[in-house]
Structure 1
């Protein structure tokens, strides 16, 4: 998912692995019809990489290409799981989407998200989801559990001011809680519902496949 990126990521493998480099090139070509920014520049430009419509496609390409490297060493997955927008890469790696359809999904979905920038955010909380849902009551419906990351940790999404309050309260109690860097949208929450019709239209050409 988003949040694990850093400026210069993939540079090592681009210089040492022909498999990784060829896969990244294929991803760049697949993304080209849907993006206007420079793929190679995005890997080293902090301003570009801070944009949701850039970082998500770039991360998708890195994930797909890492899987290609593992396969080149004989590592063949019995199952593929993706977290958040990583599900798009997982679908490509598992054979459920073609590379071209995966590029369409990640590029057009992230472009649609530009309309949500600044309206929300996400936080990582080191408590079980059930406990967190109870604690969110004081903030009403402006915050919600967005993802269950493990039995003892989850992500919360919603209004940025309310998120900061939540993190402050939990941190004061000794609970591990932090805003997820580089995310200024409330993914996996009611805030994304207005994008539904646009995405249904943008992604209509996508044809799922059997993996």
Structure 2
């Protein structure tokens, strides 16, 4: 069984999607449509922008979504998932590629999500940190004991967990985790505390956008970050999408459940190869590859 997976923030690079734009008229049309929907030339930033320009949340999230979904569409019959999943933002790419959302509606939600997250970041100084080489439960325990807001945010793979929260609380947790034997506790260069309670204002904004949008039943089950299990019902999909902003991304558990349910091959659709690396760390036997146009 084939599982198609879609990357999240951090996968962007200058030149992303240019090959699709140059070689496929339908792709070019979708890029132009995206520029109109967003009200600025995101294609120009994707193709020629600096790393700093691409790193802005309001640019990064739509850029990765556009690249991922356009690639899935250009794959045609080669895009034949038995199941899909996406890492954080990638969940919206996965849902759109699997027919639950139109390209236009998916992009509008992604844009609103990005702007709401950026506003939440600006409202309170916050950050995230990658903890390497420690058991998940040990990291969770330290987070619970530290004063202030700090929580487990991204269960990326075995031995790699990202924590998120207020700057002093994250820094204190890193200090304690290093003392307790973490191989690395590294503050990440991000705009704020994604997937933590500090994203509550963004969650409320996103909820409005999702409730106003028409969703269809996807062509295959999606393994969502919040639930980690196969989901197909529209009500559950919407609920999980809304709570994703303040809940952890349970990527490790989602991949494990896809394998339990029969996934034998994981195809990453979108910029970069980050998810392939994480999947191989979760299960060395898993077959991984990059989605491409034949």
Instruction: Please say whether Structure 1 and Structure 2 have the same fold, judged by a TM-score greater than 0.5.
Output: yes
Match of 1:208 in 2: 215
User: What is the Cα deviation at residue 64 of structure 1?
Assistant: 1.1
Q: CA RMSD in A?
A: 2.6
User: What is the Cα deviation at residue 199 of structure 1?
Assistant: 2.5
Match of 2:156 in 1: 149
How big is each residue's C-alpha offset from its partner over 1:50-96, in whole Å with a ceiling of 9 and x where there is no partner?
22111101111111123234x34724111110111110001001111
Unpaired runs of at least 5, structure 2:
1-7, 219-294
Match of 2:45 in 1: 42
User: What is the Cα deviation at residue 190 of structure 1?
Assistant: 0.2
After TM superposition, the structure 1 = structure 2 runs for residues 52-201 of structure 1, keeping only pairs within 5 Å, are 52-69=57-74, 71-72=75-76, 74-118=78-122, 119-126=125-132, 127-167=134-174, 170=177, 173=181, 175-181=183-189, 183-201=190-208
How big is each residue's C-alpha offset from its partner over 1:147-181, in whole Å with a ceiling of 9 and x where there is no partner?
22223322211123443454455457451333334
- Higher share in strand: 2
User: What is the Cα deviation at residue 200 of structure 1?
Assistant: 2.8
How big is each residue's C-alpha offset from its partner over 1:8-59, in whole Å with a ceiling of 9 and x where there is no partner?
33334544x42xx7336415514633x2332122212234322211110111
TM-score, normalised on structure 1?
0.82
Unpaired runs of at least 5, structure 1:
none
Secondary structure of the 2:86 match is coil
- Higher share in helix: 1
Quickly say closer, same or farther: Cα 1:175–1:201, change in 2 above 3 A.
same
Bigger CA drift: 21-30 or 114-123?
21-30
Instruction: Report if the CA contact (8 A) 1:24-1:65 is conserved.
Output: no
Quickly say closer, same or farther: Cα 1:146–1:31, change in 2 above 3 A.
farther
Question: Which of structure 1's runs of 4+ aligned residues deviate more than 6 A?
Answer: none
In 2, distance between residues paired with 1:24 and 1:38?
A: 13
Quickly say closer, same or farther: Cα 1:151–1:114, change in 2 above 3 A.
same
Determine which structure has greater relative contact order: mean sequence separation of CA pairs < 8 Å that are 6+ residues apart, divided by chain length: 2
| Matched residue count | 205
In 1, distance between residues paired with 2:203 and 2:197?
A: 11
Indicate which of 18, 24, 29 corresponds to 1:11: 18
